[in-house]
Amino acid sequence: MDFDLLAIGSGPAGMRAAIQASKLRRRAAIVEQSNRVGGVCVNTGTIPSKTVREAVLYLTGLSQRGFYGQGYRVKSEVTFEDISRRTRLVIEREQSVLADQLSRNRVAHVEGRASLVDGHAVRVTTQDGREQILTAESIVLAPGTVPAHPENVEFDGETILDSDQILRLDRIPEELVIVGAGVIGIEYTSMFAALGSRVTIVETRPSMLDFCDREIVEALQYHLRDLGVTFRFGETVEAVERREGRTLTRLQSGKQISADAVFYSAGRTGATTGLGLEELGIEVDSRGRVSVDSQYRTAVSSVYAVGDVIGFPSLASASAEQGRIAACNALGVPTRPIGELLPFGIYAIPEISYVGRTEAELTAARIPYEVGIARYRELARGVILGENYGLLKLLVCPHDGTLLGVHVFGTGATELIHIGQTAMGLGGTVDFLVDSVFNYPTLAEAYKIAALNAMNKLRELAA
């Protein structure tokens, strides 16, 4: 065998699987069809979109307008080149870091398109048509996903774009239609709205981000409406067409929306085309997702699958951990499964992040709880930052004070959530947070204030 483990795809899942194998002193390789490592995460998805967000926040001065007025800007006229320059720099640096990690860990990087010959052999075809067969004791599939392209949408990569193309815009559109109010759609909605675009978001469901806390989603929706966003819930897109340099979105209700550009963000499918999975008996569903067992093993015992291609939770953080665990399983090294307390982060403006259960889930399960809330405007750090809308919510068991869920909305939400995640993972209670001393002034102090708020309510119930 050429290798002990061969990963297909160089995104977070494939990278972590190959590097873990190398750390265990096994021969490892990555096959990547692009000449750039990092997959969608680094090149068109997670890293670019979060970099755009930071550029937008800085250049528009949005977070400082509470102090300096609604007309405040760091740059009087923000261009897409201003944003793209920063994005390119970050992507190049991240690619360099990943390439260095592969080199330092002696992971072979093979460029070309992969297809499985059998459970231990992979055919790699380069762009110029040359082929080679690589063999491995175990194969880890981590090809990621590609945007869904419905037949009724005339994608052109210029005015009608998918989630891998959105950053190819050469200007900031005055009017933008975003189809899909999922995580990606909402993140870009907030960014373009902050840049001054008049955004209309179309969603077939009656609301957005149904998996999040309703109070926090309502707060985000209010904030987006304040930025001029129009929501069209319960609407289905019939067709998206190019029309004389602009776009026309037709809805089944009969409405028509004219805009400079359309961003279609309504789903992604597994990048499994051409991998030869079906021929080996590896099941792939209608959305290109691969079925695996609890060990991330497919129907072929030597082939594993990890990352977005296996579906939920489709988080870069979880994908990387899946890759590490799958490598350990493949190489016979004991490991523990991913815990239930996964932190979810939505990098909208403002951020949303949560861990544990929501109020709706607890109510449906008939689990009693009490709520403790701290608002950023009550924190000295929040006042310093000009945060008038952020909040942190604790859901607390009234019987023993354990934390059932933590939900954060506002600046630093995706960082703050890890305090709650750690406390919950270690069985911490609301008393622990009340008794803890936090740096002052900080946003983390919200945990103590929210805990005091919950404890006061519990005392009233016990009186």
Mean pLDDT, range 412-426, rounded to an integer: 97
pLDDT of residue 463: 64
pLDDT in tens, 101-116: 999 999 999 999 999 9
CA distances (Å), 148 to each of 34, 162, 267, 373, 443, in order? 20, 8, 6, 39, 39
Give the range among 69-73, 148-152, 345-349 with minimum mean pLDDT: 69-73
Mean pLDDT, the chain, rounded, equals: 93
Between 182 and 66, residue with greater pLDDT:
182
Mean pLDDT, range 349-354, rounded to an integer: 96
**DSSP 8-class letter at 460:** H
> Which one-letter amino acid corresponds to residue 201?
I
Place 24 in a pLDDT band, splitting at 50, 70 and 90.
very high
Place 357 in a pLDDT band, splitting at 50, 70 and 90.
very high
Whether the pLDDT of residue 128 is over 90: the answer is no
pLDDT of residue 257: 96
Whether the pLDDT of residue 398 is over 70: the answer is yes
pLDDT of residue 420: 97
Enumerate the domain spans of the chain. 3-146+269-330, 160-266, 350-462
Percent of the residues in the chain that have a pLDDT greater than 70, as a whole number: 99
Whether the pLDDT of residue 393 is over 70: the answer is yes
Q: Give the integer Cα–Cα distance in Å for 133 and 118.
A: 11
Look up residue 430 and give its two tokens.
């609301």
Q: Which class does domain 160-266 fall in? A: alpha beta
Chain-centroid distance of CA 115 in Å reads: 27
Whether the pLDDT of residue 225 is over 80: the answer is yes
Q: What pTM did the predictor assign? A: 0.93
Q: Are 66 and 4 in contact (CB under 8 A)?
A: no
pLDDT of residue 266: 80
Whether the pLDDT of residue 75 is over 80: the answer is no
Look up residue 440 and give its two tokens.
């002052």
DSSP string, 157-225: SSSEE-TTTGGG-SS--SEEEEE--SHHHHHHHHHHHHTT-EEEEEESSSSS-TTS-HHHHHHHHHHHH
Mean pLDDT, range 374-389, rounded to an integer: 92
Give the CATH architecture of domain 350-462: 2-Layer Sandwich (3.30)
Between 70 and 278, residue with greater pLDDT:
278
Please name the fold of domain 3-146+269-330: FAD/NAD(P)-binding domain (3.50.50)
Q: Do domains 160-266 and 350-462 have the same CATH topology?
A: no
Q: Give the integer Cα–Cα distance in Å for 271 and 372.
A: 43
Mean pLDDT, range 323-330, rounded to an integer: 97
